[in-house]
Chains A and B, each alone.
Chain A
């Protein structure tokens, strides 16, 4: 029985627990065992089987008393960027090793209040900076997927939410939280054959989420299908007075509103996303996606987003600038690591602590950010980037005057091997070429599995929507999901 239970997604668990088909304790027990068995994937930084069981017992009692909540009986993985009260939270960094928050992030708190349990804390790129999960201070996460070429190369699960994607894909969790700054939910979802949505900036509270780039960071769900994402997103979203950028608007009933019928809808295809050297398989996948949404009744419109090529350079000014400012708080005084060399003064303590506690990619981004914000360069770099960002936002506004959602590939390739790109930061950054523009514009965007490449690896399609139109995004993604018939899953080798 237990092996079957880990095949179930969020909706199936919720419904099964409510109907009494199985108990929440059985579900939690099955996933706890899967987490233990999956240790070779290095997806989890902290395992909390006892918390999953405690929430399950509460759910089982709630069923008896008729007090079930939207996520009663659903155990989840929580990306280790979310502060969890009483459970170590490190953002996969050495500088936060041993940090046990005295508070709960709003998003994880909402999920638990909705009845969910926690299986553990998920590994990620250090401070969410990376696209492959090779920057964690606690070792790389390994994708459960393998190429079908007979080789045994370890593949990247994507990043930064790579522990989340690996865990959901490997059936160690029915769903997990992710965060997306430039594509950190969508690219790992695409690499591992699962679904994930970054909602409109401001939908999910950032309070208690370790900050990377505050004008971009947004939490979202990662799960096996579109419905499960809708259910989880409903529980995660909502106004929070503790986050000044939180939107004070009601949360729609996204699950109830799901419909894969796109009749009367216009789907835009941005011509600038046909980048140089795009692999033919990605071209073919995109065309397949176009055929799917047409079949669902949508009309295809070619649109132009002329500033697309400037999105990555804009991102690699704004995100490091905000990161250099946000990460100034790690000074060895209030929490985290302190490195105090003999006879060091306060300034030397700061510098030694930060040298010791931050990984290479984090230092690189802090250095870039410090440079572009420094006197003499601020206007040339940062102000110019914020102006180009305005133009990127305007491009999307003009496109959405002609269509309801946009359809693009999620990433320019399938998952690459661990180590294949880690020596070249620019090659790594290019992986986010399709996800970064919508992040800069704060738009809701989702990745949904579209098919497999020649090596048997998953490829994702991305839907980008108007501000606050998560429903339109979910529905277009559902139309693709219904037609793609994606049932591939990694073979268990761990």
Chain B
């Protein structure tokens, strides 16, 4: 302990330097989003805009009619995917943890095997299946294939395994069936696991790039991540607009993260992955 005390200031300096390394790119982007283009082009390093302006934000929402549409597309897809996953993954996880039925062991090992399948393998066949279904350029093209995820089914199963059985037994004596039991007793008590899942799934869907890139060719169906990329091509040197759009895209994920932060580590140790 004594040695730690002696070096304590050094560690604070290291942590602060790294905090700076983390923050500077974001602050630099934030600052650019409030500067006018001439101020950006004129160069020099100042993080506080000389003439603070909201024009960039107004422009991307007013001049680029699709920007708000992309934002709503992303929000609709991310929220739907999150709700479906919370429901379906918990149901499957609960069944695998608690209900004994023929085929359950096989299903459990299949889920485990699926966790190991890299997504790249299924990109092309999924595209062709979705094309055959006539789902290209539709919300369901992204929402349905993402509506249940093996990793989180496994996570929920682990959660329910260590769940006290007594509560369920008591509720069963009160005459609740499986469904009543699940929705009225089990799910409300699974809040920490559901919160951890919410963060990961919402962020995964909100930040997803490859799927909308491949499935949406209609500009009006783009999500923010893909829209942002075409935005970059269109406003190639208008970094003020590009940075304002980037900040807009970051805010929802940031809010979710701040709100659910205490469940973060828990979720990571549960799933072992992002």
Bound pair: A and B? no
Footprint of B on A, CB under 8 Å? none
